[in-house]
């Protein structure tokens, strides 16, 4: 059985390929980036540089596959998705062509990585947000650009299951983080960006960092190991509806900075930029549905996950000094 992971050169894809290989699976990884730009290149996998948005290439990479994890998307942190809405929506070409290719290849199961950005904005206006249930995606009012593409592709996956018998499964990721990912350049998310800023402050001795917004916006953050485990269970399970995959540990950005200060052993002065992209005011994952189906939920604490993430990022930056 060949398992295809698209977006294999990305953060989540690289970790997923590694785990599947550790389980003894036959894995094909595909990514549009040159191999030199992949976050992880696993020698045990068949690694393809190919564009999922191209229908010919999508069909070629899908040949002979029994399962597909479609993680490929043009995305990043809030700074990227708020300023590149058209580019984010063009990921619909990847979603469409991979579903068509999976159908034509006779692939049995297809995993689509959606996002908490599909949830209605009017339910995310308070830092003390009520955790978002799966039903809160409708009536639809998702994150402009990125969220609309994700919500549309969820529906497309549903109809490919209904009309063509392709067993599609959808996970709504909530802020995945960990080592071996983006931590600079504009696409990084808050845990990596703040880890970088704290590491730079410690190494430089300049203990001042910039913070987007007032720091009271709240989120939950899921460590990569929980994400990889949950993704596999969702693909192999019988639940056909989109389901949250995220931690329910809600923190503000200021609280996360406090955790990183403790890990790094320094105190920093925060300079708040109220003009920077901030996204919704509060977002958390309601894991009632996930727990009822799979009997567990993401539970690696933010402190433990940040300790590993910060350590890896600190080492990357220190090597430049």
pLDDT band at 279 (very low <50, low <70, confident <90, very high): confident
Q: What is the mean pLDDT of residues 203-224?
A: 96
pLDDT band at 77 (very low <50, low <70, confident <90, very high): confident
Give the three-class secondary structure for 178: coil
Of 247, 234, 219, 218, nearest to 305 (Cα)? 247
Q: What is the pLDDT of residues 1-15, one digit of tens each?
A: 899 999 999 999 999
pLDDT band at 203 (very low <50, low <70, confident <90, very high): very high
**Three-point CA angle 19, 25, 28, nearest 5°:** 85
Q: What pLDDT is attached to residue 78?
A: 81
Of 185, 187, 155, 189, nearest to 283 (Cα)? 189
Q: What pLDDT is attached to residue 321?
A: 84
**pLDDT over threshold 90, residue 298:** yes
Percent of the chain with pLDDT over 90: 94
Q: What is the mean pLDDT of residues 262-274?
A: 96
C-beta separation of 119 from 132 below 8 A: yes
Q: What pLDDT is attached to residue 265?
A: 97
pLDDT band at 41 (very low <50, low <70, confident <90, very high): very high
Number of helices and strands in the chain (H, E): 11, 13
Of 278, 224, 299, 229, nearest to 10 (Cα)? 224
Question: Topology of 179-219+249-283+301-318 in CATH?
Answer: UDP-galactose 4-epimerase; domain 1 (3.90.25)
Q: What is the pLDDT of residues 144-171, one digit of tens each?
A: 999 999 999 999 999 999 999 999 999 9
Q: What pLDDT is attached to residue 160?
A: 98
Query: b/e map of 203-212 (b: 16 or more CB within 10 Å)?
Result: eeeeeebebb
C-beta separation of 139 from 118 below 8 A: no
* pLDDT, averaged across the chain: 96
Q: What pLDDT is attached to residue 258?
A: 98
Q: What is the pLDDT of residues 241-259, one digit of tens each?
A: 999 999 999 999 999 999 9
Evaluated on CA atoms 26, 31, 34, 35, the torsion sign reads negative
Give the three-class secondary structure for 6: strand
Q: At what angle do helices 302-318 and 190-204 cross, to 10 degrees?
A: 50
Q: Which helix (H) or strand (E) holds 278?
A: none
Evaluated on CA atoms 169, 172, 174, 178, the torsion sign reads positive
HSE value, Cβ hemisphere, 13 Å, CA-based, for 50: 23
Q: What is the mean pLDDT of residues 74-79?
A: 83
**Domain ranges (residues) in the chain:** 2-176+222-245, 179-219+249-283+301-318
pLDDT band at 136 (very low <50, low <70, confident <90, very high): very high
C-beta separation of 256 from 212 below 8 A: no
pLDDT band at 284 (very low <50, low <70, confident <90, very high): very high
**pLDDT over threshold 90, residue 308:** yes
Q: What pLDDT is attached to residue 81?
A: 87
Q: What is the mean pLDDT of residues 96-100?
A: 98
CATH of domain 2-176+222-245: 3.40.50.720
* Residue 153, both tokens: 């592709």
Catalytic residue among 69, 146, 173, 310: 146
Q: Are strands 218-220 and 250-252 parallel, antiparallel or unpaired?
A: antiparallel
Q: What pLDDT is attached to residue 79?
A: 84
For this structure, is 310 an active site residue? no
Q: What is the mean pLDDT of residues 273-290?
A: 93
**pLDDT over threshold 90, residue 16:** yes
CA distance 15 to 222: 14
């Amino acid at each position: 059985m060949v398992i295809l992971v698209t977006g294999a050169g990305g953060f989540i894809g690289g970790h997923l390929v590694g785990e599947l290989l550790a389980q003894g699976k036959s894995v094909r990884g595909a990514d549009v980036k040159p191999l030199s730009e992949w976050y992880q290149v696993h020698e045990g996998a068949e690694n393809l540089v190919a564009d999922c948005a191209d229908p010919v290439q999508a069909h070629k990479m899908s040949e002979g596959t029994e399962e597909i994890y479609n993680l490929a998307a043009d995305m990043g942190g809030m700074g990227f998705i708020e300023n590149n809405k058209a580019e984010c929506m063009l990921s619909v070409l990847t979603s469409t062509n991979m579903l068509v290719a999976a159908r034509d290849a006779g692939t049995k199961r297809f995993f689509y990585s959606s996002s908490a950005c599909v949830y209605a904005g009017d339910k995310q206006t308070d830092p003390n947000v009520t955790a978002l249930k799966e039903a809160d995606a409708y009536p639809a009012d998702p994150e402009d650009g990125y969220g609309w593409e994700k919500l549309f592709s969820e529906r497309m996956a549903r109809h490919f299951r209904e009309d063509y018998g392709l067993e599609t499964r959808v996970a709504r990721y909530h802020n995945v983080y960990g080592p071996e990912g983006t931590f600079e350049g504009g696409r990084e998310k808050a845990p990596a960006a703040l880890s970088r800023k704290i590491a730079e402050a410690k190494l430089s001795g300049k203990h001042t960092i910039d913070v987007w917004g007032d720091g009271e916006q709240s989120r939950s953050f899921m460590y990569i190991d929980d994400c990889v485990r949950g993704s596999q269970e969702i693909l192999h399970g019988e639940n056909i509806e989109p389901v949250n995959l995220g931690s329910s540990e809600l923190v503000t950005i200021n609280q996360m900075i406090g955790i990183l200060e403790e890990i790094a052993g320094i105190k920093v002065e925060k300079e708040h930029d109220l003009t920077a992209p901030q996204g919704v005011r509060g977002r958390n994952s309601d894991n009632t549905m996930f727990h009822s189906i799979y009997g567990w939920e993401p539970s690696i604490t933010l402190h433990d996950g940040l300790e590993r993430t910060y350590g890896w990022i600190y080492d990357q930056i220190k090597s430049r000094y």
